[in-house]
Structure 1
């Protein structure tokens, strides 16, 4: 083979491998999912205000919210998950499960099919979206009756196989219907813009990049770990004492039931 053609073929092959890897990274998939949900939300009526990729300050650092929708019918905190496979979870468990089932046939044994099951775990998106709604609510004290609704939306080819929740966990095709189903009026038209302006003025996206946001998350985890190691409750500062429960021993806060922090 011509050396020049050999080099070009190698570059193209390597480039294809890099692109395939890039398109399958969680970051790329997450951004594509958020882009799809943004396009869906832009179909809302003109009196709905849509904000994307918002970073707000919390007492624990920062929190990133995929989408916020402001309307006279309330505020919606939307968490996007671009997943595939079967999804299992409920409101209480700390992590949800993604199960990917793949059937593979190899050339040498074309008559036989092998089934591979991959299990992944991810942080409970309902808890995530609820935390976002609490942060939003804290910035809007001027409207104490304003409803802030958490919504978890799955895009991609995920199947909600066994998901039970008292909150809204929906497919992307049902997102508009879910948002538009809220018809109780909480805000006057001019207040919609005031609320949107408050949220935009508190958006730190211009000042906090993804790396710093991730650093804040890990820094908070390290702080919690250090306090627990010293026997201090990271939630209220109480003492951690060993208790016995249905599933064995665990450490609980001495200020229970006011503080319900536990750690195994």
Structure 2
């Protein structure tokens, strides 16, 4: 029995070491500088990491930015964007929801609902509306008028079930993480060159890895709005 326990522990350690080594080489680590353990302990950050891993396997030239704090297009303050993918087929604003349970939502409603097997419910702000605010901020910052370049994707965890999602427009996609690459691949048409992607990346990079003061001010702003 002692040898079995020893081998089990050895296997676990080996998996952790391999997983950590993979993380250290990831785009997510490069963009955020978050430690492996910080990401593993935080469900939201881990969801972003897994989503960026999917993006890393995309074909075509692309760049990724994570956790951007952009000035709002209207009303002052900042808006936080989980992931911005700059791809040959467009600028993708990706809202990451690493949720479990059943997800119910309507594009027109202010709030959506997460329901758990024990009957408990959790309400959260409509991520489509959330992403529209993000796109408005991006348009203003980049001074881009062509709205067709921007694409909104809400990415949910594989652990959840998108039970009843009602979309009333064609400008947003609500999917589970494993469908992300296929959805982007289906866009097809190239709208950005490599040089344009690099230029946009440089313009936006300063809004990632912001100071703790900016993050604290953003959280205070969100809490004030929720009162």
TM-score range, shorter chain: 0.7 to 0.9
Q: How many residues align?
A: 182
Looking at structure 1, the residues matched to 198 and 99 of structure 2 have their Cα atoms a distance apart, in angstroms, of 33
Higher RCO, Cα 8 Å, sep 6+: 2
- In the alignment, what sits opposite 2:139? 137
- In the alignment, what sits opposite 1:251? none
Find the partner of 2:184 among 175, 179, 182.
179
Q: Give 1:144 deviation, angstroms.
A: 3.4
Judge conservation of contact 2:111–2:123 (CA < 8 Å) in 1. yes
Looking at structure 1, the residues matched to 164 and 192 of structure 2 have their Cα atoms a distance apart, in angstroms, of 36
| Structure (1 or 2) with the greater helix fraction | 2
Moved over 3 A (4+): 142-146
SS of residue in 2 equivalent to 1:101: coil
Looking at structure 2, the residues matched to 142 and 79 of structure 1 have their Cα atoms a distance apart, in angstroms, of 21
- In the alignment, what sits opposite 1:257? none
After TM superposition, list the pairs within 5 Å mapping 1:20-99 onto structure 2: 28-45=42-59, 47-58=61-72, 59-99=75-115
Rg larger for: 1
Q: Give 1:159 deviation, angstroms.
A: 0.4
TM-superposition CA deviations, 1:112-137 (whole Å, max 9, x none)? xxxxx111100001111111111111
Q: TM-score, normalised by structure 2?
A: 0.73
Judge conservation of contact 2:67–2:208 (CA < 8 Å) in 1. no
CA RMSD of aligned residues (A): 2.2
SS of residue in 1 equivalent to 2:143: coil
* Cα pair distance change 1:156/1:213, threshold 3 Å: farther
Gaps of 5+ in 2: 1-36
Q: Give 1:46 deviation, angstroms.
A: 5.5
Q: TM-score, normalised by structure 1?
A: 0.63
